Amino acid sequence: MSRKIFVLFTLLALTAALLACTGAPPTSAPPTSAPATSAPATSAPQATTAPPATTASTTRPIKVGIVDTYSGPPAAFGNDALNGFKLALSEINKDGVLGSNIEFVTRDDKYQPDTALSMAKELILEEKVDVLVGTVNSAAALAISSFAKEQKVPYIVWIAKSEAITGAKGHRYVFSTSENSAMAGKAGAEALAQKPYTKYWIAGEDYEYGHAIADAAWNNLKALKPDVTKAGETWWKTGEPDLTPYLTAIMAAKPDAIIFATGGAGMTNVLKTAKAMGLSDQIPIWIHTAIDTSVLKPLGANAPEGVMGTMDYLFYYPETPENKAFVKAYQDAYGAPPGFPAFHAYNTAHFIAEAFKKAGALDKEKFIDAMEGLKIDSPTGEIEMRACDHQVVEPLFMGVTKKNPQFEFMTASDIVSVAGKDVMPSCEEVLKKRSQ
Amino acid sequence: MDPSAVISLLLVGLARAMILFIVSAGLTFVLGVLRVPNVAHGSLYMIGAFVAFTIATAFGQSSAGFWFALILAPLVVAAVALIIERGLLSHLYQREHLMLILFTFGLMLILNDLVKLIWGAEYRSVTPPEILDGAVTLFGFNIPRYSLFLLFVGPLVAVGLWFLSNKTRLGKIARAASVDREMVGVLGINVSWVFAAAFVIGCALAGLGGALVAPTTSISLGMDLTIIIESFLIVIIGGLGNTWGALIGSILFGVSQSLGLLFFPQFAIAFPYAVVVIVLLLRPRGLLRSAW
């Protein structure tokens, strides 16, 4: 008996000791389940029984279900998005929407498509959410998307970037407030097409987003500059700790330039290894999101300079009053500048609020009609939800990594802004893909 | 194929193998002496990397910070291991293997959540010391200096482990206890503390591996998963509990990966696993003699 107590005691002591030895409280411990809601468990069915559009108020709060990644490496994105969403809600709920508030519940999908799907099912069937949003993993987003279509519940993807989400696998009930791989790939391809390189190597992480961004960049580049050739491809599994052998093999092939297709922690790994091997001094590199703050910040001065990247949000660019106000509000609330997930989630919240105001009723079909073609003012300027494919139209920024005396980490320099409509596939192209 | 490319890939593959060896040597040591398949080994490796980050940051990511981290991180992990062994594991040795796996699996979940509570979910990075920063050109290829450093540390650890298990009293008792723990107890030796020492040494190696890998990669949650799968595979193909087996297994794993990259880059992911399958088909009990 005393042994059991001893074991229990040691377990407690171990926990306490580990917590005490760094003393740092969790900066943004994510809720793993349903915070901040007190909605009655038996909320009435909406959609069909909602009041007619003429009565522009409802007594029930709008309920948003968030399925996102709050554990493992992508949790950094999930937390950032949640903070951005909360910040927007604090602004929106001051005046309210349709006479009530927007509330939310969160679920952790652990970066797994099957978990994401069961969480989405729970939120739709048990929690009866009006709108579903999230997540990081493109495969998870696609899984939720097809269930949302079946259940006729609007689903807004806010971090995942695979173009299939609003492209080949798009439908009436899915939206994306994130720039997608088609847009990023075309922006990158246009920048690369102006350079003299012809022999390319493509390398990246073997998952949905990696292949999507690589294909988009390559197909666009091939179309813009037909004489480019692909010397080879290398793919590694996500979370591969040491990329030195991979990059050594690529250097042995002596390509003119390399397109890397990685995301998240894999980005940091590629940049770090490229710097350590002197690869970035010898061979030009393009990586979508190479200039992202969440990638460059952990590396400090250890990142390679001169890597070409594209991004749809930078907290230091554009230097407009709107962006500065957003950054300041976020920084005051959460102690760090916002990343791109916070920007997307902030916009998503405003899209939801504006669409319900425009619809005038808590009705899912009317919400979707209202979302189509809706324009809102984002921190980087006016952005639009394209009516034909439900993909957000927003500017992209291209730049190269460079040391910046203002910060302890590198930032993008020589930034060029590209209009969203110039890099998006046309409505006809998207609809053709959907019909195939 | 360019022979210098083969040599340089061989070198970086061996450097990768050295980290795998240091971590899986710890795993196989614990497995051999205590008969405990420590699923939480990868978490201790992750803790080693995060502690290395904290120490390096305390020194402003300077060169000195890295060297302190390299020495202190394994010691911190050893202290955690000592608490785990004395407080929890030492009461469970009589249980069957399934229970022990369940226990270490639970421990893994707890440790991973603690890492998230303490360090958060952001990626971290450690700056390599100036002397090991950048690359040297060998045979016309850039090889990171840090890889050469790993090629030096790996054999050092191997020799140290050999010395420990063959030339010291503790090592001899540990080897004897792994064969017949009751008989060692009958001889009047306190087996309990020998087990504690073996567990702490094994876990400290995981911590050392974590500290060594810190400058080459991004330190993030989930880094434990890759390493625990790879080190279990290495331990299995090397022969359970056999340190030299772990060394051979790591080299097979690391070199097959890097050379596979040169010849079949599109299938590189599958290459080391194919080697594991072939080894197990030919020698189901591992390459070298298992301690079990």
Q: What ipTM score was computed for the predicted complex, to two decimals?
A: 0.81
Q: Is the pLDDT of residue A28 over 60?
A: no
CA distance readout (Å), B40 to A10, B27, B86, B112, B207: 17, 10, 16, 9, 12
Give the residue-averaged pLDDT of A270-283. 89
CB contacts, 8 Å: A233 with chain B: 265-266
Q: Which of A159, A235, A242 to mutate to probe the B interface, most B CBs <10 Å? A: A242
CATH topology of domain A54-179+319-393: Rossmann fold (3.40.50)
pLDDT at B292: 62
Whether residues B268 and A236 touch (CB distance < 8 A) is answered with yes
Whether residues A239 and B15 touch (CB distance < 8 A) is answered with no
Q: Is the pLDDT of residue A384 over 60?
A: yes
Q: Is the pLDDT of residue B85 over 80?
A: yes
> Is B26 within 8 Å of B37 (Cβ atoms)?
no
Paired with A106 in beta bridges are A66
In a domain, B244, yes or no: no
How would residue A32 be classed by pLDDT, with cut points 50, 70 and 90? very low
Give the residue-averaged pLDDT of B131-142. 84
**CA–CA distance, A257 with A135 (Å, rounded to integer):** 32
A237 close to B (CB below 8 A): yes
Distance from the Cα of A423 to chain B's closest Cα (Å) equals 29
Domain span at B96: 14-222
> Is A147 within 8 Å of A81 (Cβ atoms)?
no
Q: Is the pLDDT of residue A23 over 80?
A: no
Residues near A38 by beta carbon (within 8 Å), at least 6 away in sequence: none
Q: Is the pLDDT of residue A430 over 70?
A: yes
A16 close to B (CB below 8 A): no
Q: Which of B114, B261, B264, B266 to mutate to probe the A interface, most A CBs <10 Å? A: B261
**CA–CA distance, B110 with A405 (Å, rounded to integer):** 41
In a domain, B210, yes or no: yes
CB contacts, 8 Å: A239 with chain B: 222-223, 225-226
How would residue A11 be classed by pLDDT, with cut points 50, 70 and 90? low
CB contacts, 8 Å: A290 with chain B: none
Give the residue-averaged pLDDT of B189-215. 93
Whether residues A72 and B84 touch (CB distance < 8 A) is answered with no
A contact residues 48-77, partner B, Cβ 8 Å cutoff: 70-73, 75-76
Question: B60-74, pLDDT tens digit by residue?
Answer: 888 899 999 999 999
pLDDT at A33: 40
- What is the pairing mode between strands A62-68 and A102-108? parallel
- Token digits of residue B249: 């297994």
pLDDT at A13: 53
**CA–CA distance, B255 with A305 (Å, rounded to integer):** 31
Kindly state the percentage of chain A with pLDDT values over 70. 87
Count other C-beta atoms under 10 Å from residue A4's C-beta. Answer: 9
- Indicate the residue of B12, B120, B269 with minimum beta-carbon distance to A27: B120
Q: What is the 3-state secondary structure (H, E, C) of chain A?
A: CHHHHHHHHHHHHHHHHHHHHHCCCCCCCCCCECCCCCCCCCCCCCHHHCCCCCCCCCCCCEEEEEEECCCCCCHHHHHHHHHHHHHHHHHHHHHCECCECEEEEEEECCCCHHHHHHHHHHHHHCCCCCEEEECCCHHHHHHHHHHHHHHCCCEEECCCCCCCCCCCCCCCCEEECCCCHHHHHHHHHHHHHCCCCCEEEEEEECCHHHHHHHHHHHHHHHHHCCCCEEEEEEEECCCCCCCHHHHHHHHHCCCCEEEEECCCHHHHHHHHHHHHHCHHHHCCEEEECCCCHHHHHHHHHHCCCCCEEEECCECCECCCHHHHHHHHHHHHHHCCCCCHHHHHHHHHHHHHHHHHHHHCCCCHHHHHHHHCCCEEEECCEEEEECCCCCEEECCEEEEEEECCCCCCCCEEEEEEEECHHHHCCCHHHHHHHHHC
Give the residue-averaged pLDDT of A354-365. 93
**CA–CA distance, B31 with A9 (Å, rounded to integer):** 26
CB contacts, 8 Å: B268 with chain A: 234-236, 246
- In this structure, the dihedral spanned by the alpha carbons of residues A348, A353, A357 and A360, taken in order and rounded to 10 degrees, is 90
- Indicate the residue of A19, A73, A246 with minimum beta-carbon distance to B220: A73
Whether residues A19 and B223 touch (CB distance < 8 A) is answered with no
Q: Which of A26-30, A38-42, A268-272, A345-349 has the highest mean pLDDT?
A: A345-349
How would residue A226 be classed by pLDDT, with cut points 50, 70 and 90? very high
CB contacts, 8 Å: A22 with chain B: 54, 118-119
Question: A123-144, pLDDT tens digit by residue?
Answer: 999 999 999 999 999 999 999 9
Give the residue-averaged pLDDT of A95-105. 92
Kindly state the percentage of chain B with pLDDT values over 70. 99
What is the average pLDDT score of chain B? 90
Whether residues A252 and B88 touch (CB distance < 8 A) is answered with no
**Is residue B86 exposed (0-12), middle (13-18) or buried (19+ Cβ within 10 Å)?**
middle
**CA–CA distance, B247 with B245 (Å, rounded to integer):** 5
- Tell me how far apart the terminal alpha carbons of chain B are, to the nearest angstrom: 43
How would residue B191 be classed by pLDDT, with cut points 50, 70 and 90? confident
Count other C-beta atoms under 10 Å from residue A95's C-beta. Answer: 9
Angle between helices A75-95 and A321-334 (to 10 degrees): 110
How many domains in chain B?
1
Question: A187-221, pLDDT tens digit by residue?
Answer: 999 889 989 999 999 999 988 889 989 999 999 99
CB contacts, 8 Å: B225 with chain A: 239
**Residue written as token pair 């949003």:** A133
- Sheet order of strands, A102-108 included: A102-108, A62-68, A131-134, A155-157, A174-176
Least confident range of A9-18, A201-210, A247-256, B174-183? A9-18
Distance from the Cα of B111 to chain A's closest Cα (Å) equals 9
Whether residues A19 and B213 touch (CB distance < 8 A) is answered with no
Question: B100-132, pLDDT tens digit by residue?
Answer: 999 999 999 999 999 989 998 778 888 889 889
> Is A353 within 8 Å of A377 (Cβ atoms)?
no
In a domain, B292, yes or no: no
A1 close to B (CB below 8 A): no
A373 close to B (CB below 8 A): no
Residue A58's nearest CA partner among A26, A91, A96, A100 is: A100
Between CA B142 and CA B257, with CA B253 as vertex, the angle to 5 degrees is 45
CB contacts, 8 Å: B114 with chain A: 15, 18-19
A19 close to B (CB below 8 A): yes
pLDDT at A55: 44
**Does A182-311+396-423 carry CATH code 3.40.50.300?**
no
Count other C-beta atoms under 10 Å from residue B101's C-beta. Answer: 14
Kindly state the percentage of chain A with pLDDT values over 90. 66
Residues near A241 by beta carbon (within 8 Å), at least 6 away in sequence: A269, B19, B213, B216, B217, B223, B226, B227
Kindly state the percentage of chain B with pLDDT values over 90. 54
Q: Residue A382: what residue type?
A: E
A21 against A377, higher pLDDT: A377
What is the average pLDDT score of chain A? 86
**CA–CA distance, A271 with A258 (Å, rounded to integer):** 12
Distance from the Cα of B232 to chain A's closest Cα (Å) equals 16
In a domain, B275, yes or no: no
Q: Is the pLDDT of residue A12 over 60?
A: no
The full set of domain ranges for chain A reads: 54-179+319-393, 182-311+396-423
* pTM (predicted TM-score): 0.79
Question: A143-201, pLDDT tens digit by residue?
Answer: 999 999 999 999 999 999 999 999 999 999 999 999 999 999 999 998 899 899 999 99
Q: Which residue from A minimizes the CA distance to B51? A: A22
Q: Which residue from B minimizes the CA distance to A26? A: B117
Indicate if A182-311+396-423 has the same CATH topology as A54-179+319-393: yes
pLDDT at B26: 95
Q: Which residue from B minimizes the CA distance to A12? A: B87
Residue A421's nearest CA partner among A379, A375, A356 is: A375
pLDDT at A43: 39
- DSSP string for chain B: --HHHHHHHHHHHHHHHHHHHHHHHHHHHHHHHH----TTHHHHHHHHHHHHHHHHHHTTT-HHHHHHHHHHHHHHHHHHHHHHHHHTGGG-TTS-HHHHHHHHHHHHHHHHHHHHHHH-SS-B--PPPGGG-SEEEETTEEEEHHHHHHHHHHHHHHHHHHHHHHHSHHHHHHHHHHH-HHHHHHTT--HHHHHHHHHHHHHHHHHHHHHHHGGGS-B-TTHHHHHHHHHHHHHHHH-TT-HHHHHHHHHHHHHHHHHHHHH-GGGGGGHHHHHHHHHHHH-TT-SS----
Q: Which residue from B minimizes the CA distance to A22? A: B118
Give the residue-averaged pLDDT of B8-17. 91
In a domain, B212, yes or no: yes
Paired with A308 in beta bridges are A286, A400
Q: Is the pLDDT of residue A56 over 70?
A: no
Q: Is the pLDDT of residue A17 over 60?
A: no
Least confident range of A20-34, A93-107, A261-275, B95-109? A20-34
Distance from the Cα of A6 to chain B's closest Cα (Å) equals 7
Q: Is the pLDDT of residue A26 over 70?
A: no
A240 close to B (CB below 8 A): yes
Residue B26's nearest CA partner among B275, B242, B206 is: B206
A433 against A18, higher pLDDT: A433
Whether residues A10 and B88 touch (CB distance < 8 A) is answered with yes
> Is B46 within 8 Å of B259 (Cβ atoms)?
no
